[in-house]
């Protein structure tokens, strides 16, 4: 049961982790990116569409990234270049992703609800035979999907880029002191555009994992609020990459626990599906208490 719970935790945490890491870039440059929900959904559909057409899981990941990048580009155009309201732009893009993926699913594949085809390529797992004999750790870490490892590597890379690189310095300056960045010869708009592109890439991979790593199908509204959970995670830990890993694992644990309760004890799926959102409310409660404690 423990092994199954940990396996479910890693699988459930991966799309939230990937989306949250992209959200860390937009958080530090002071872009309120609520379009991550739509980017995840677009990435999931793009991966299935390209994977079905080509039969290649690698091309499918590229398709997921491309689909999410289209939304990212639209966000840049409206919220960065045209200075439109970020909240309104994000809501519009989320609705655009939901409507477009539903329409294309029905028009291209003639199905409602879910598209499941045997020719869809699954993103491969990574076997680590030298770890398998170790109790608990071996069965949990060996055989994990490739994008699980990509997510963990991306967490390290995100921390380094934000905290140690020259771009990271400009990224944080764009969020905390834009006039200083402009005075030094930097461009706030360019830094924010690059951050949104990076967010699109990670959300596209997260969506590809949902449709071809976690499952091998596409469902209408497949993101199911994970983009909102990712946004909450970024805000809770203030864009910290280590904090994002921890909070994503917490949400993944809640989701995995719900699946285990459903499988082993026959609880209704509607109740078990609430687990990650209850965990979100729980964490938000303690975050609000901490903020009240910091207030003068």
pLDDT at 131: 75
pLDDT at 42: 96
Q: Residues 276, 23, 206, 146: is their CA dihedral positive or negative? A: negative
pLDDT at 140: 78
Is the pLDDT assigned to residue 280 strictly greater than 90? Answer: no
Domain boundaries, the chain: 14-223
CB 172 within 8 A of CB 35: no
- Provide the phi-psi class of 56: left if phi over 0, else alpha when psi is between -120 and 50, else beta: beta
Q: What angle do CA 41, 46, 48 make, to 5 degrees?
A: 100
What is the Cα–Cα distance from 96 to 279, expressed in whole angstroms?
28
CB 51 within 8 A of CB 57: yes
CB 202 within 8 A of CB 33: no
What is the Cα–Cα distance from 63 to 52, expressed in whole angstroms?
11
**Lowest pLDDT segment from 18-22, 78-82, 262-266:** 262-266
Of the chain, the percentage scoring pLDDT greater than 70 comes to 90
What is the Cα–Cα distance from 257 to 234, expressed in whole angstroms?
22
Is the pLDDT assigned to residue 263 strictly greater than 60? Answer: yes
Is the pLDDT assigned to residue 16 strictly greater than 60? Answer: yes
What mean pLDDT is predicted for residues 34-39? 93
**Lowest pLDDT segment from 57-61, 83-87, 199-203, 261-265:** 261-265
H, E, C per residue of 86-152: HHHHHHHHHHHHHHHHHHHHHHHHCCCCEECCCCCCCCCEECCCCCCCCCCHHHHHCCEEHHHHHHH
What is the Cα–Cα distance from 29 to 191, expressed in whole angstroms?
8
Q: Of the candidates 191, 150, 147, 154, which has an alpha carbon nearest to the alpha carbon of residue 169?
A: 191
Give per-residue pLDDT as tens, 43-54: 999 999 999 999
What is the Cα–Cα distance from 257 to 168, expressed in whole angstroms?
36
| pTM over the 0.95 mark | no
pLDDT at 7: 80
Give per-residue pLDDT as tens, 115-150: 988 899 999 998 888 777 777 777 777 788 999 999
Is the pLDDT assigned to residue 57 strictly greater than 90? Answer: yes
Q: Residues 193, 199, 204, 207: is their CA dihedral positive or negative? A: negative
CB 80 within 8 A of CB 108: no
Please give the mean pLDDT across all residues of the chain.
Answer: 88
Three-class secondary structure of residue 182 per DSSP:
helix
Is the pLDDT assigned to residue 159 strictly greater than 70? Answer: yes
Give per-residue pLDDT as tens, 209-230: 999 998 899 999 898 888 988 9
SS3 content of the chain, % helix, strand, coil (to 5): 75, 5, 20
Is the pLDDT assigned to residue 291 strictly greater than 70? Answer: no
């Amino acid at each position: 049961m423990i092994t199954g719970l940990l396996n479910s935790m890693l699988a459930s945490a991966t799309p939230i982790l990937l989306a949250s890491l992209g959200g860390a870039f937009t958080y530090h440059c002071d872009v309120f990116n609520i379009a991550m929900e739509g980017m995840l959904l677009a990435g999931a559909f793009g991966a299935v569409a390209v994977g079905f057409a080509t039969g290649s899981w690698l091309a499918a990941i590229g398709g997921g990234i491309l689909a999410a990048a289209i939304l990212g580009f639209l966000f840049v155009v409206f919220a960065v270049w045209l200075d439109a309201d970020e909240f309104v732009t994000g809501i519009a893009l989320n609705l655009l992703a939901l409507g477009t993926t539903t329409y294309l699913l029905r028009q291209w594949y003639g199905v409602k609800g879910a598209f499941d085809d045997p020719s869809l390529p699954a993103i491969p797992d990574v076997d680590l035979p030298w770890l398998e004999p170790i109790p608990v750790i071996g069965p949990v870490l060996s055989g994990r999907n490739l994008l699980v490892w990509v997510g963990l590597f991306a967490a390290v890379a995100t921390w380094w880029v934000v905290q140690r690189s020259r771009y990271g310095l400009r990224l944080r300056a764009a969020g905390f002191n834009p006039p200083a960045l402009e005075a030094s010869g930097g461009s706030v708009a360019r830094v924010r555009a690059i951050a949104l592109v990076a967010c699109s890439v990670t959300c596209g991979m997260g969506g590809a994992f949902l449709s071809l790593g976690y499952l091998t199908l596409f469902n209408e509204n497949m993101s199911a609020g994970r983009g909102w959970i990712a946004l909450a995670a970024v805000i809770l830990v203030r864009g910290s990459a280590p904090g994002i890993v921890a909070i994503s694992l917490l949400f993944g644990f809640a989701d995995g626990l719900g699946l285990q309760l459903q499988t082993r004890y026959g609880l209704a799926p509607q109740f078990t599906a609430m687990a990650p959102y209850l965990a979100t409310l729980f964490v938000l409660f303690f975050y609000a208490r901490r903020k009240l404690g910091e207030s003068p």
